Amino acid sequence: MAAIEIVIPLYPDVTHLDFTGPHQVLSRIPGARVTVASMGGVDISAEGLVFSQLADLTKVERCDVICVPGGFGTTAAMLDEAYMAEVTRLAKGAKYLTSVCTGSLILAATGLIRGRRAACHWAWRELLEPFGVVVDDSRVARDGNLITGGGVTAGLDFAFTMVAELAGEAHAQSVQLGLEYSPAPPFNAGRPETAPPEILATVRQLMDTRIAGRIEAARAAAARLEASA
């Protein structure tokens, strides 16, 4: 039986939990081969950690699942034509298109999910709209073969959803038990709807320092898609 090829395409300033969490879970799918790649196979720095010995994204021939992580580097990645060309190439041949957090913006910038529903981090989800993508505020959103996780930690829930899809619910539950994934956060502040108003205001202020650049990048990437259509 052929291996299930899962590819995670990294870029500078990716959020490491966006891919290390799903990687831990997805790597326990029987027969799965999870490849973490970057352009040229270069090392990727992610919030103080450096990931090395990566595959060269340009040399990855195909995949069954492409899983695009998010991060503050999303803005630059959407405008990196070489990186986007490789993601688009692999996504066109994949059985499943998936992402975590703002990775859905990169999928949107391929033009392959126009008119479909996708999740994204709560602070950036409206940036899906210039690409013609329908915003879904679910923790894990599914629209056919498009399966997307919302914010950073939603990557774990997304990954268990993928395990159930590829290896069955019983195996997914076994992996969940093996990893003792039984979240019980000490605070109910993980969503804007539940966070105390003063906490939400503080975090929004931090996010606002980056939103202008992301809006500009999303519009530029969307305009490039329109021009190439």
Give the active site residue among 63, 67, 101, 120.
Answer: 101
Judge whether 160 and 25 are in contact, CB under 8 Å.
yes
Judge whether 60 and 89 are in contact, CB under 8 Å.
no
CA 206 to each of CA 102, 137, 157, 203: distance values in angstroms, whole numbers, following the listed order: 16, 21, 26, 5
Tell me if residue 120 is catalytic.
no
Collect all residues with Cβ–Cβ distance below 8 Å to 48 and sequence separation of at least 6: none
CA 205 to each of CA 123, 188, 190, 192, 211: distance values in angstroms, whole numbers, following the listed order: 11, 20, 16, 13, 10
So which residues are the catalytic ones?
Answer: 101
